[in-house]
Structure formats: C-alpha cells, structure tokens
Chain A
Amino acid sequence: AEAPLCPVPPVSEPELLAGDNPNIVVTADKAQINQDTLAFFSGNVDIQSRDAQIHAQQATYNKREQFLGATGDIRYRDRQIEVTSDDLFLDADSGRLNLRQTQYRLSAYPGRGAAGSIGINQREGIVLDDVTFTTCPAGQEDWALKAGSLELSPGKIWGEAKHTRLYIADVPVLYLPYFSFPVTDRRQSGLLFPKFTSSDRVGLSYEQPYYWNIAPNMDLTLSPRVMTDRGVQLKTEFRYLSRKHQGQLNLEYLDNDRRFELNEARYAYRLSHLSQLSENWLFSADINDISDDNYIVDLGSDFYSRADTHLYQTLKLDYFSETLSLNMQLRDFEIIGDHPESYRTLPEIKLNYQVPFGSVAHFGLHSELAYFDSPDPGKHAASRFHIAPTLSLPLSNEWGELLGEVSVLHTRYHQDVAADSTLAKNTSRTLGKARLYGAINFERTLNFSGQSLTQTLEPKMQYLYTSYEDQSEIGLYDTNRLLNDYDGLFRGQSFAGLDRISDANHLTVGLTSRLMDESESELLRASIGQIFYLQTPEMGNAQQNSDRSALAGELDWRINNHWSLQTELQLGAEDQAMERSSMSLNYQPSASKLLQATYRYVENIGNEEIEQAGFTVAWPLAKRWQWVARWYHDLTQHRSIETYTGLQYDSCCWSIRLVAQRYLSNRFDALGHQNTNEFESGISLQFEFKGMGSSDSARSLLDEGLFGYRQPYFVNQ
C-alpha cells in the first residue's frame, strides 16, 4: 500500500497497574519517608497507578493529606492524554491533578498542542486552559485553534472549546465564543465538523454543531445551518440510551425558505426507537416525515436519498419465545410525489408457532390478521385473516439437504365494497401446497498453476404443487408479482403478500458451481436455473405461455487480485429475449484506485424499459490529490442521468474537496408531477479539518452523489 501521507508518531501505551490494583507504586533512585506520612523521592522518579503513569525528577507525597507534587521534566500519561510539563500537583479535595506550562498529545486521536494548565480528574475529564489545538504534524501547523478553555469530558465524543480563535497559517480568521468538534475518529452520524459547503442548491452553507451532554446516557446536538440562499435551518439530534430503551429523534426546521415557492415552514422529523419491555417483549418505532415532496431534493438529508419514493412510518410490538413469535404492527407510509396513496395496515398481527414434531419433522403455524385502509377514497377498506399450518421435514448433512413441506393455506376476507362490485363482500380461499426440495454438494480438488483449488458442484431441484382457486373476487392490498431472479426460482411463491397465491405444478432445477482457494474464499461462483411447468399456471404472467420460466443465471468471478466480474441475467423462455441483465466489471489495484463499468437492462419495470450504463473511476492524481468521477447514462432515453466528478486535496490535517455534478432533477412541480427531462447541476466546495471527525477521502468521495450514496435502513423488522 502507499506510504502513509502523514505518519503519526506512535503513542506509547502507558504502563498502568492492573484495573483492580488500588495501590500507587513509586520507583526512584532515592526515597525518604518520615513518620510514614511524608515521602520524598528523587532521581528518575516513576509513579504508577491503575489510572496513570507519571515520570519526574523529584516528587513528594503526603499520605494523610493525599497531596502529591512533582517537578523536573514531568511526563504524565493516561489512556486519553500524554502531557509534558515542569510542575505537577494533585489537589486533594477536588481530586484534580494540575499540570502547568504543558505540551500535550491526545492518544486516541491525532490532536496535540500546548496549554497554560491542564486539569485532569476522573469525573470532569480533562480541562485545558489557555490552549492551542491542532491535528497537524509537528512543523506543518497549517491551522491551529487557540482557545480560552477546552474540555474533554469522559464518555463524550465531542470536545468543547470556549473563546476560540481559528488561525490558518498563523493568521486569525475566525472567532467563535463556543465551538465543539468530534474527538474520536468515529464519524458521528454523518455530521462533519463544521461543514463549509457551497452549492447552487443552497448557496454558501455553514453548519456548526453544538453538543449538549444532558446526562450520561442522553445527548442533544443542535446544528444551526446558515444557508445564504435559503436562510437558517435548525437541525437537532436527540439520542438516548438506557439499559432497556434506546433511540434517536431528529428534527429539522427551516422557518421561511427564500427560494421555496410556497411560503410555509419546511420541516422533517425522524424517530427511530427500540425498547426491550421485558424478557420477551420488544417495542420499536421507525417514524419519518417531511413537510413537502421537494424537501430532500432542495435541502438534502443525512438519512434519505433524493431518489426515495416513500418513507416508513411503523410502530411495532413483538413477543418472542422459544417456539412462538407474535408481531403486531401499525404500518403506514409517507409517499413522495404524486403517486396514489398506498394501502396501510392499521393493525397487522402475525403469529408464528414452530415446534418439533416427532424427532425430525417440524410443525409450523403461520397466521395473520390485517385491517387494510387507505387515505385514498377510491381504495376500500378490507380485513383479512390467514392461517397456514405446515408440516416440514428438513434433513441435512455435510453433503446434502432434503426438505419436504406440506401446508394448507386458508384465507378469509371481509371487503368494504358496494354490492355491485366485482369483489365479494365476504369471501374465502383454501389452497393446498406441497414442496419437495433437494440439494447435493459434490466437491473435487483441482491443481491450477501450482495452486490447489476446490471446485464444488451443487445441483438443486424442487417440485412445487399449489392448488388453484379463482381469486378474482379478492382485491389487491399488499400483493404484487415478485422479481424472479436466480434466488427467486426456489422461493415457492411468485407473489409478495397474500392476496394472490399462484397455482403451481412445476419442477425447478438449478446448478451452482464454486471455485475456492486454499483459504476457502470464493474465486468464482456461477449458478443457472429454470422452472419447468408441468402444467401452465392459471395465474402466471399473462404474455408468457411457454412451458418453462425465464432462464436465470448469475456469475461472480474474482479473476485475480485486481479484476472482478459480476453478472446476472434472465432469458425469456419463448424468444430467448433478455428480460433482465446486469453486469459489473471492476479493476481495483489498490484502495484508492478503482475502475468500474456497470450495465443494467430491465425489459419491463413499472411498465418502463430501463437500459442504463455507468462508469466509475477513482484515481490518485498525485501524492495528495484524489480524483473521482462517475458517469451514468440512460441508453433508452439517450441522456446521462448523473455526471459527477470530485477532486480532493488531502493535507495531513485538512482537506478541501471540489465536487461538480449534473443529475436528473426529480423536483416535483406544484401538482406533484415530475417533468422527466429537467436537469440540475451544482458545484460544491467543502473544507474540512482532518483528524476531527475526518473521513478517509477516497472512500467518502465515492460515497457522494446519487449513485454512490449508501443509506442505512432501520433494521429489526
């Protein structure tokens, strides 16, 4: 790998006593103790306790008054900080250790500097007065903070400075009465320190987080964001963590946005919460809402992508035990844009019961009760009860797997429809289902240019029978057709949800082969599979009348250390036409060098044909310059949907990033429609202090922009 740009001098670990050892051990050339209370030490004095280690030329310790003093090239080290000074004393009643005229270095983090005095104490943490702070290496102090005081409280990931002057190349450029910055290298929920960005969406924007540690397990971060073109947006993040409850509440509020066509306040809120009510009961909430459809597009968000179509609003209560799981949910959605309102379940209750049946078989009971309604008057309400007892026989050993499953699926509906509707007010459906799945693992070793590889051959077969019943009297509430990629072939159901259960009498055949090196990591994995319909399904795809499904295949091939290829395809049965295919070719010789070409084709999704190709490059131009570019082109519409290029200069303790991008604007007009060929472009400049909540540049540049951004879901569903 490349030599590190900024070698950080290694921080020597302090030799501390074991955690349970309350003693204080002093080694010296000479020691004198009077009346077992007043001790004088001299000559290379080394004082050790479980919390810290001090080195000095002379030290005095008064056992009764708990007073310790030391002088002569003092070096103090604990787990957080390393200090050199020439005068130290322990102030007994406050328990605070004071050092004067100091040079210091933080250990978990490349921050260092000088301080008139440093106070260290178990409860309040570290207080540095008349302090300079920088993360730049010695001799290259491109920037430095000078502050009246800097506090590093225990357990807090932020440092808080007061009366701070920012010097860039020894020129004072900024005065901040209060100023907080992350002092751990863990990037704090995407909040960069402080963000100076400029883009044509918001103009010049400066975001300064204020951190308030309300209690050991609660903190509040207020980040006013001043935007020259829009005004002041307040972003707040409240986090709480206790043994039983944890969660995070984000509120964002912009009073009047000068560039917003409607003059209303714009806000967004997000609550993600998890409580363990008791040994078996869990409660969780994932509530998200925005004030208008263009909120994310205009103001950006740390949580949502501009291309999102909906936000989750879910409340959930779960009960788990060894054999039983009960799951009660209220599930609603905030739809973005002028799409019809969706059905929501108020509530939806699922009960799963799983218990061994005899020595090998398992009896399972899956049942559901759901009440569907929708704010869209055109959508009638309905309630559904479903119960599916299943008997399954799973057998597996090292070379194979056999699963037999028999189940009955009974569903009852009460649909709030008018008498003349094609849907029935009350109806029910009972289907039988049988599934037999088998897989065998064959292996052989291959010698390939001196390397011994293992190749596996894994044939899989599944017979599925599901009885048929006409379901035209049942409405569609939570059902649509599933994507049948290779993994979907063996799923045993072709619809998501329960309002349609397709009849089936088919045999699925699949074959996977893997090539693994000595350490059993996969060099190549290829799979191919197809469904053979012994009887054409009544509820199959309308236009597909062949006796077999699309041929689905996938390949994941690590050609060598630098090259890798992933591809997936589905060939239509009758005309061998490509229904879906995707390909990604990657050349990655090192962490900061990447060339990637991707191609995607989907014959029909949301009755649109999609054919898009993308090209991504990340390349270091010079020792400190990293360039990233990404270009996504829509081949059916003959236009590029994202052109993104970013250039970042990385010095040891600061970085500046210039990003230019042009992308399809999916801004909604007043009627909630999106015109389909309006583009937006923006240039954004971002200055960042490295070492403070910094991020590794090559990686983060790749993550920016539309197609790079990786967004977390609230899991635990």
Chain B
Amino acid sequence: TEGDFQQPIQVSSGSQFVDGKNKTSVFKDNVRIEQGSLLIQADEVEVIASEGKGKEVFIATGNPTTYSQLMEDGSRISASAQRIQYRVNGRQIALEGQAQFQQDNSMVKGDRIIFDMDAEQLLAEGSKQGEERVTTVFQPEEKAAGNDNQNQKEPQEP
C-alpha cells in the first residue's frame, strides 16, 4: 500500500559483505527485506546503492525467492521466481525465471513478470524461444458469505 513506501527498509540476513567503493553490499543465507507490508525473502540479495539513498536496487536470487505485499484494497500479492529485482524509487518489481504471481483469485505464471506497484499493472511474457508461455488462472468471484450462491449469476463460460 502507499504507506509501505514511507517505511524504512530493514534487511536481515545470516551474513553480510559490503563493497563500500562500488556502494554495493551482498547479504546471504535466508535474507529478509521488509518495508511496511512488503517482504522479500531470498537466499542471496545484492543491494546496489550507487544512485544514492532512496534509489537503491535490490537483486534477490533464490530457489525460489519470494515477494509479498498488501495492496490498497486489502488484497494480498504473493510472488516467487528465480530472480527478483526491486527498484525502490521506480516502485517496480521484476521477476525472472519460473516467475509466479498470485493476487486475490487470479494467478499468473511466465518466464518474465514486471509488476508496477503504483499503477498496479502487471506485464508477463513467455520465454524468447516460445516454449515457456504465460499461463493465467482466474478463479470465479467468491461471493460474500451473505447472499446465496444460486441466484448469483455465475460466469457461464469464459
């Protein structure tokens, strides 16, 4: 949610290695990056802060590395991939390699998924050679518990 981006980013990990000259640091074994409701977990995270405070780029890798966050409307997003790149000021997250993205009752799988958190817009693509394609699964709208399901018009067909 909007509030997340005002929060400070905390990073915890088993071990840490800082390269002051190039302003990059590498965290290893079960790394956790938290910013408000945003949470990234990975085996290894490389943080590039060369463009200064607030413009860091986090590159997380893992088998898989996961990302989750609460949206404005309270729906929860959870995603996983081989590599997740989080651009702080761009408020954009890019997942590559068996990327999977779950929101509310739809789920997308593909080779590369780019999610713009501000515009809440997702772009997914299959692999270049075309063997791995983008699969999207929509679950039918769960009706609010109150009203009875029969008279509600279920989506007839796709």
A26-54 vs B, CB cutoff 8 Å, 1 = contact: the mask equals: 11111111111001010110011101101
Q: Give the shortest distance, in Å, between B152 (CB) and chain A (any CB).
A: 11
Give every chain B residue within 8 A of A47 (Cβ-Cβ): 158
Q: In the complex, how many residues of chain B place their beta carbon closer than 8 angstroms to a beta carbon of chain A?
A: 29
Whether B153 pairs with A35 at a CB distance below 8 angstroms is no
Contact partner, B135, options A27, A49, A97, A120, Cβ 8 Å = A27
Partner of B158 from the list A27, A44, A49 (CB cut-off 8 Å) is: A49
Of A60-68, A309-317, A555-563, A625-633, the one with at least 4 CB within 8 A of chain B: A60-68
Assess whether B139 is interfacial by the CB under 8 Å rule.
Answer: yes
Render B93-128 as a binary contact track against A, CB cut-off 8 A, 1 for contact: 000000000011010101000000001111111100
A29-B126, A33-B106 in contact; A23/B156 too (CB < 8 A)?
Answer: no
- Interchain CB contact under 8 A, A29 and B130: yes
Q: CA–CA, A121 to B154, complex, Å?
A: 12
| With contact pairs A28-B133, A90-B158, A95-B156 given, residues A63 and B138 touching in the complex (Cβ less than 8 Å) | yes
Closest Cβ of chain B to A92, distance in Å, is 8
Q: Which chain B residues border A121 with CB–CB below 8 Å?
A: 156
Closest chain A residue, CB of each to CB of B107? A23
Name the distance in Å between B41's Cβ and chain A's nearest Cβ: 23
Q: Is A378 close to B, CB under 8 A?
A: no
Q: Are B136 and A39 neighbours in the complex by a CB distance under 8 Å?
A: yes
A23 to B141 alpha-carbon distance, docked (Å)? 10
- In whole angstroms, what is the CA distance A39 to B120 when docked? 12
Say which size band chain A's interface belongs to: 35 or more
Any A CB within 8 A of the CB of B8: no
User: B140 at interface (Cβ–Cβ under 8 A)?
Assistant: yes
Query: Chain A contacts of B133 at CB under 8 A?
Result: 27-29, 44
**Which interface residue of B103, B137, B138, B140 has the most chain A CB atoms within 10 A?**
B138
Inter-chain contact B156/A122, CB cutoff 8 Å? yes
Whether B75 is near chain A, meaning CB under 8 Å from some CB there, is yes
Decide yes or no whether A24 CB sits under 8 A from chain B.
yes
Do A120 and B75 touch (CB < 8 A)? no
Whether A31 touches B153, Cβ cut-off 8 Å, given contacts A36-B106, A63-B141, is no
**A190 near B: Cβ within 8 Å?**
no
The residue that A31 contacts in the complex, of B119, B134, B141, B158, with Cβ under 8 A, is: B134
Is B148 at the interface (CB under 8 A from chain A)? Answer: no
Q: Mark A66-90, 1 if CB is under 8 A from B, else 0.
A: 1010000000001000000000001
Cβ-based interface call for A608 (8 A)? no
The answer to whether B156 and A90 have CB atoms under 8 Å apart is yes
Cα distance A298–B125 when bound, in Å? 75
Min C-beta distance of A152 to chain B, whole Å: 16
Across the interface, A41 reaches (CB within 8 A) one of B75, B103, B130, B136, namely: B136
Encoded as 1 (CB less than 8 Å from any B CB) or 0, chain A from 103 to 128 comes to 00000000000000000111000000
Residues of B within 8 A of A35 (CB): 120-121
Q: Which chain B residue lies CB-closest to A25? A: B137
CA distance A510 to B155 in the complex (A): 71
Is A414 an interface residue when CB atoms closer than 8 A count as contact? no
B19 close to A (CB within 8 Å): no
Residues A34 and B140 in contact, CB atoms below 8 Å apart: no
B51 at the A/B interface (Cβ < 8 Å)?
A: no
List residues of chain A with CB within 8 A of the CB of B141. 63
**A30–B120 Cα gap in the complex (Å)?**
17
Bound-state CA distance A206–B89 (Å) is 81
A54-B158 contact, Cβ under 8 Å, with A23-B139, A25-B135, A26-B138:
yes
Also in contact, A30 and B124, with CB within 8 A (given A49-B157, A96-B156): yes
Q: How far apart are the CA atoms of A32 and B112 in the complex, in Å?
A: 12
Given A36-B103, A54-B158: A27 in contact with B134 (beta carbons within 8 A): yes
Q: Which of B110, B120, B134, B157 contacts A90 (CB 8 A)?
A: B157
Q: Which residue of A lies closest to B138 (CB)?
A: A24
- Decide if A376 is an interface residue (CB 8 Å cutoff): no
Q: Is the CB of B138 within 8 A of A23?
A: yes
CB of A155 within 8 Å of the partner chain: no
Roughly how many angstroms separate A95 CA and B136 CA in the complex, as a whole number? 22
Q: Do the beta carbons of B137 and A23 come within 8 Å of each other?
A: yes
Other-chain residue from B104, B126, B135, B157 in contact with A36 (beta carbon distance below 8 A): B104
A648 CB → nearest B CB, Å: 43
A22 within 8 Å of B (CB atoms): yes
Chain B residues within an 8 Å CB radius of A28:
126, 133-134, 136
How many whole Å from A391's CB to the nearest CB in chain B? Answer: 60
CB distance from B126 to the nearest CB of A (A): 5
Q: Report the separation of the CA atoms of residues A22 and B157 in the bound assembly, to the nearest whole angstrom.
A: 10
Determine if B153 and A26 form an interchain contact, defined as CB atoms under 8 angstroms apart. no
Q: Mark A321-343, 1 if CB is under 8 A from B, else 0.
A: 00000000000000000000000
Across the interface, do A32 and B136 meet the contact criterion of CB distance under 8 Å? Answer: no
- A678: interface (CB < 8 Å): no
Instruction: Tell me, in angstroms, the Cα distance from A121 to B155 when the chains sit together.
Output: 11
The complex places the Cα of A93 from the Cα of B153 at a distance, in Å, of: 8
Q: Chain A residues with Cβ under 8 A from B123's Cβ?
A: 30-32
Q: Is A95 a contact partner of B140 (Cβ separation < 8 A)?
A: no
A154 to B66, CA, bound (A): 47
| CB-CB nearest in chain A for B116 | A34
When distances are taken between beta carbons in the complex, the residues of chain A under 8 Å from B158 are 24, 26, 47-49, 52, 54, 61, 68, 90
Residues of A within 8 A of B155 (CB): 24, 66, 90, 92, 95
A23-B140 in contact (CB<8A): yes
B128 CB to nearest A CB, Å? 10
Q: B75: which A residues are within 8 A, CB to CB?
A: 36
24 residue pairs A–B, Cβ–Cβ below 8 Å? A23-B138, A24-B158, A25-B135, A26-B135, A26-B137, A26-B158, A28-B136, A29-B133, A31-B136, A32-B123, A33-B106, A33-B136, A35-B121, A36-B75, A51-B157, A54-B158, A61-B138, A63-B106, A66-B155, A68-B158, A78-B157, A92-B155, A95-B153, A122-B156
Known: A33-B108, A39-B136, A90-B155. 20 other contacts (CB 8 A): A23-B140, A24-B158, A26-B138, A27-B136, A29-B130, A30-B123, A30-B125, A31-B110, A33-B121, A34-B119, A34-B120, A36-B103, A44-B133, A48-B158, A49-B158, A51-B157, A68-B158, A90-B158, A92-B153, A120-B157
Enumerate chain B interface residues (CB-CB to A < 8 A). Answer: 75, 103-104, 106, 108, 110, 119-126, 130, 133-141, 153, 155-158
7 tightest Cβ-Cβ pairs between the two chains A and B: A95-B156, A31-B124, A26-B136, A31-B134, A33-B122, A47-B158, A24-B138
